[in-house]
Structure 1
Amino acid sequence: MWPFTRQKAETRDIAPDTSTIPVSSPDFLAFFGLNGVNLPNVTIDEALTVPAVAAAVAFLSRTMAALPLHAYRDGKSGAERLGGKLGTVVHDAPNDGMDSFKFRQWFWQQVFTGGRGLAWIERAPQGVEALWPMDPTATSVMRRGGKVTYTFEKKEYPAADVIDVPFMLKADGLQHHGPIVLASKAIQLALAMNEYGSKFFAGGGVPPLALVGPLPAGPEAIKRANDDIHRAVDAARKSDKPIVSIPAGFELKPVGLDPAKSQMVEARRYQVEEIARAFQLPPVFLQDLSHGTFSNTEQQNLLLVQHNIGQWAKALEGELNLKLFGRGRGNRYVEHNLDGLLRGDFATRMDGLTKAIQNALLTPNEARALENRPAMEHGDVLYLQGATAPLGTQTYGPDGGAAKPAADDKDGTADEE
């Protein structure tokens, strides 16, 4: 039996190095005062203090929760939306304590932090009654005789009654990888730079200093000299005249590296890109527009839907269809609507809808529904633009044939005036 506990990142010592170290080097952490100390474990709570991680988790979970999700049945005239208890559970409120947005936002937050979202299905004689969340950190999974079961709050659930969406499964098919664990090294570096930057600026931007010169004899005299320098630096920092007076023959020199010289700004920007890679997000959705342009930002929106949101939507749809309806679900299914995410600007949408109506792909009311506008009378008819006709004819008549010649035209040709 393997518990779904959040894994801790590897702890590693960074050896000091006095040479010039490029940003790409693992020893770059030494630039931030972490020589010879253990890096902190990257927990989920610690990782969420990195703005890029918090933005990625919030964006993905809220986007997935906001997607319209409905249950359908294939009818004679096409897909028919299901109502009743099943429609309420899927679209409105999975249980008595959570609406659909809150439930799915919580579910996807577990996927994009610890790496797994779980929920169990409450069934009644009439069908599905509710969906209830399961804490992945308090749930264990095991396989007996080829069948997987989940244990949560001292109760065992068969796999057929558990909605399970992992971020990435391990080779045994039971354990999983989470994005925060997979990106723990990049997150550690971001945390280290946050810590260094906060300490640097909390000290008024004054780096550690060394007093160089003929030091007084005895430990007590050295301590008094250091205290005098500390008071002078603090007084200069708090006053409008940042001048430090030191005795003749002495000199204050900075110890460590200037954040600008250590490429701190560039490194922090690079960490945003690294975290975006871990979540498969275009950087523009983490508010990183350093490589964004007017044209490629819209293309990144399409990339997001096609290669990220659409795939996660399919993962949840597959679980819901299998667990709610079984392998032989017949003509019922659950599906997200991604149209809202794929909408372009107003002019592009209007041009696309116009072409769809003119070529009998959408009725006017179907096009109005995509724009959240009410249906209108006579708007459920398909129209086909009649400008294209067979060679030698002028137009089409109501019966689909070519236009008939005039009644007074016995030979089929019109009289010339």
Structure 2
Amino acid sequence: MNLVQRALKALRRSAPARDPDANRLPFVGMTMAGIRMDADNAVQIAAVWACLRYLSQTVAMLPWNVMRSEDGKGAQVQSKNPVQWLIHNRPNPECSSFQFRETLVHWALRHGNGYAEIERDLAGRPYALWPIHPDQVCPERNQAGRLFYRVKLPDGGGTVDLDAADMFHLRGWGEDAVGVDFMTYAAQSLGWAKAVQLFGASFFGNGANLSGVVTSKGKFADGALDRLKIEFGKLYKGVRRSNQTAFLDNGMEWKPTAVEPLKAQMIEANHFLIEEICRWFGVPPHKIAHLLRATFSNIEHQSIEVVQDSILPWVRRLEDEADYKLFGQNRMGLYTKIELRGLLRGDFKSQQEGFEVMRRNGVINAEEWRALVDMTPMPADVGGDKYVMQSQNTTLEQLGKEPPPPASPASAPAAPSHDEALAQSEIDRMAEEAADAEAAA
């Protein structure tokens, strides 16, 4: 059944939301920690920056190719396909494939969505991909329920509507056709982290970091208060003079009031908030240089595990959108694939042992092995393109069967039977006796 027949038989009974971009939660703005949180100042938090950088740059650096599965030949890279140039080399004249994916994944992580206009030629083929900031895009539905994107033009140029087929939409986590605003859900956790960051900065840079106050039982004499301020300034002004004690007169006594950062568990709070931010982004702490609980015995396996849990979901989002939007309805077996093999390799020794197993079992040849480790081809007369396998290997059907006798060469004479051998030996003996008798005569 083709698409036209399916469309004639299809009848949707539910009605989609006219405004799919509506969030379930209201915009938080000012958090309970007293910090105003949005998608821009959240990036000032080191853990947020590290998570954004790791996910966006890791996805952007992986090879992205147009593939076609051919019978008997496996999947082959379609280097001459126009889409191959867009996704692998240059989506548009202003940015590379790395920068394009880095930008879209970054936007999708911060805003829930990453957008790029698909510029097409007169034949309807993709010609360029132009990123559009999420603040400029508003997804909507028309009267028929079809999704389109209303884009605000810069400098008060009005708006322009783009069909869904002409918008490359990298959708983050969400419940409808668009992803939810990440900052709306994570605002309180990020606001807490930002407050701890500002508190630590102000503790060292606020000037007078008092560890207590000095009270007087009597009234200050003329000029005594000014002298007291000067004395406090000399002792407490600046980071190097913080937490000093003033020795004063006039019956004054010392009362400690400050809470030490150690007692306030500032270090523990920072560690907890780093892990809290990693939970929001789905990034293991060791990938953003938080090695508190990482060990050398498990760090390699955690690095491989993060590919499945953190990188693969964004890879699939990019592949699915490209497969649907860049090839049209008649794909002719074409699809895109982002290669993850480089991230799944272990250390050099484990990597070479894996290659050796494939080589020994005839999966790869010497030339393919050298290509995997970026080595030059072997000389043509060496035979590096041959596949080898151990000779004792057999199929499951042959197990338990007696091996067939070795075939005799066609040119070799048949071996004589036992009787024939005895008769021939008797003839040879009689001939020798006759020769001896003749020689004696």
- TM-score normalized with structure 1 length: 0.81
- Structure 1: segments with no counterpart, 5+ residues: 14-28, 30-38, 396-400, 413-417
- Displacement after TM superposition at 1:357 (Å): 1.6
Structure 2 partner of 1:193: 196
| Larger displacement relative to structure 2 (123-132 or 61-70) | 123-132
Give 2:47's match in structure 1, choosing from 52, 57, 60.
52
- Counterpart of 2:68 (choices 70, 73, 83) is 73
Contact 2:29–2:38 under 8 Å retained in 1: no
Give SS of 1:290's match. coil
Task: Give the Cα separation in 2 of the matches to 1:183 and 1:118.
Answer: 22
CA–CA separation in structure 2 for the residues paired with 1:142 and 1:239: 59
Q: CA deviation at 1:344?
A: 0.6
**Which of 30, 40, 60 is residue 11 of structure 1 equivalent to?**
30
> In structure 2, do the counterparts of structure 1 residues 250 and 411 end up closer, same or farther at CA, with 3 Å as the change threshold?
farther
SS of residue in 1 equivalent to 2:44: coil
2: CA distance, partners of 1:241 / 1:384: 75
- Which one of 360, 363, 366 corresponds to residue 365 of structure 2? 363
Q: Does 1:89 align with 2:86?
A: yes
1:106–1:405 distance in 2 versus 1, CA, 3 Å: same
CA spacing shift, 1:112–1:237, aligned 2, 3 Å: closer
From 162, 166, 175, give the equivalent of 1:161: 166
CA RMSD of aligned residues (A): 3.3
C-alpha deviation, 1:259, in angstroms: 0.9
Count the aligned residue pairs.
380
Pair 256,124 (structure 1): closer, same or farther in 2 beyond 3 Å: same
1:150 aligns with 2:155: no
Query: Comparing 98-107 with 235-244, which one deviates more in the overlay?
Result: 235-244
Residue 386 (structure 2) aligns with: 381
- Report the CA distance between 1:239 and its aligned residue: 6.8
> 1:360-404 CA distances to partner (integer Å, 9 max, x unpaired)?
222333332222223434333332221335679999xxxxx8754
Instruction: Identify the match of residue 110 of structure 1 among 107, 114, 129.
Output: 107
* Corresponding letter in the other structure for 2:100: F
Structure 2 unaligned blocks of 5 or more: 1-17, 154-158, 418-441
| Equivalent of 2:126 in 108, 125, 128 | 128
| Structure 1 residue ranges (4+ consecutive) displaced by more than 4 angstroms after TM superposition | 1-8, 220-223, 235-243, 389-395, 401-409
1:211-246 C-alpha deviation (Å, 9 max, x unpaired) = 22315269x878536524532423697679955331
AA in 2 matched with 1:62: Q
SS of 2:118's equivalent in the other structure is strand
- 1:301 aligned to 2:300? no
Aligned equivalent of 2:97, options 100, 110, 120: 100
Secondary structure of the residue aligned to 1:129 is strand
Secondary structure of the 1:308 match is: helix
Aligned to 1:252: 254
- Aligned-pair identity (%): 27
What is residue 214 of structure 1 aligned with on the other side?
217
Cα distance change of structure 1 residues 402 and 268 upon mapping to structure 2, 3 Å threshold: farther
Code of the residue aligned with 1:179 in structure 2: it is: F
* Local SS of the residue matching 1:347: helix
CA distance in 2, matches of 1:103, 1:148: 24
- Per the TM alignment, residue 335 of structure 1 is displaced from its structure 2 partner at its CA by 0.7
Kept after mapping to 1: 8 A contact 2:204/2:239: no
Q: Distance in 1 between matches of 2:182 and 2:192?
A: 16
